[in-house]
Each structure stands twice: as structure tokens, then as C-alpha cells.
Amino acid sequence: MLAQEPVATPVHVCMDEHEWPNREGKRPEVMMRFVEAEKKCASVGKRLCTEFEWELACEGPETTPWPYGHTFDPNACNASKDFIPYDEGKLNADERRVREIETWRLYQGEASGSRPRCASSFGVKDLVGNVEEWVRTSRKEWRYRSSLKGGFWAKPWAHCRGTNDSHGPMFRYYEIGFRCCKDPEEPVTAPEPAQASTPETTPSP
């Protein structure tokens, strides 16, 4: 049985086209804690996306399981690379340089926008695969205010639905990045059209 959302959740948001730093052709940043991602988004006047915002951006109005459609394509997104075993001690080492060397040994992220088919109907790129993305939790039953969406480069079963709710705001790992969202400005109300005035008539002499 497939679980369904009990109510419709209205979404009105502006979302970055690419993963942070939101530059086409730039590799997304990783090893980022949820709290660090919050600060980086805030530094550019934005915020982290919510779980529901992320899902809508990925599924589009037709609620497709992958951003590119209903049928899985292993080459559409960067999600089918071989898994490389990691060294937990090095990833959590106190010395930053040790962490960075291990992270780059494991890193298989691609430049943002390098796979044209990995785009949703809204034009948002790399939502599935590449790097796993921090989002603000929308479902009240989850343990933390932080959740992860989209899988990463070695998770071929990743799709638009499915939330990783296992990690708190201080967690970081070699495949975790994020993208930012922003609440849209209120639309400007068009002024009412001017009422036509009755032209004055000049009596004939």
C-alpha cells in the first residue's frame, strides 16, 4: 500500500536552480552541517528549503517519481556511480586537513547542470543524485528539524520521494550539501483602471 499525504500542502517559494553555491559548472560543496547550511543561506538573504518544497520542485505538477519523468534512467542523474568504502576515523578526524583529503578521495560529485536531463519541470537541476541535500523537516513525526533528500552519486534508487530523517543538525558527511530557497515577495497589485469621464459639451452658439 502506498502512503499518501493526508492533506494538500500549498507551496509558494523561489528555489535555487543549482546546489550550493548555486553556480552552473561549479561542483557543489559537501561536508556541511545543517546549521552551517542555514548560515550560508542566510548570508545571501535566503533560507534552507523545506521537505515539502523540495518534493514539489522535484516531482512537478504531475508528481513524477523522478525529476525527469516516470521511468528510471540510470544515466539521467549522477546517482549510479560505484560506492567507495570510506574511513570513518579520517572523516571525523580533529585535523581539518585529514578530513579534507578523505573527503576528496571519496568525492564523485559533478559540476552543477552537467546532466541536462536531470532537471525537473520547474527547471531545478540535480535534485536527485550528485549530493544529498539538507532540508527543513516538514513532517511532525520526524525526530529532528533537519532531514536529507535526493540521495547522492552512489545511490541509484534515489528519487523524489523518500526522506532520510536519521541525522540531527550537527551531522556532516562527505556526500552532504544543500540548496537555498526564498519566500517570494508579495505580488504587486495592479492599480484599478481609471474611470472614463464624460466629456464636457460646449453649447452651440
Spell 16-55 as b/e; 16+ CB within 10 A means b: bbbbbbbeeeebbbbbbbbebbbebbeeeebbbbbbbbbb
The three cell numbers of residue 77 are 542523474
Report residue 201's pLDDT band, with 50, 70 and 90 as the boundaries.
very low
More confident residue, 138 or 4: 138
Report residue 90's pLDDT band, with 50, 70 and 90 as the boundaries.
very high
The three cell numbers of residue 145 are 528539524
Report residue 9's pLDDT band, with 50, 70 and 90 as the boundaries.
low
The model's pLDDT over 37-83, given as tens digits with 9 standing for 90+, comes to 999 999 999 999 999 999 999 999 999 999 999 999 999 999 999 99
More confident residue, 197 or 176: 176
Enumerate domains of the chain plus CATH numbers: 10-184 (3.90.1580.10)
The model's pLDDT over 133-191, given as tens digits with 9 standing for 90+, comes to 999 999 888 889 999 999 999 999 899 999 999 999 999 999 999 999 999 886 545 44
Query: pLDDT above 90 covers what percent of the chain?
Result: 80
Calpha distance 181→46 (Å, rounded): 6
* Span 2-13, average pLDDT: 62
Model pTM greater than 0.75? yes
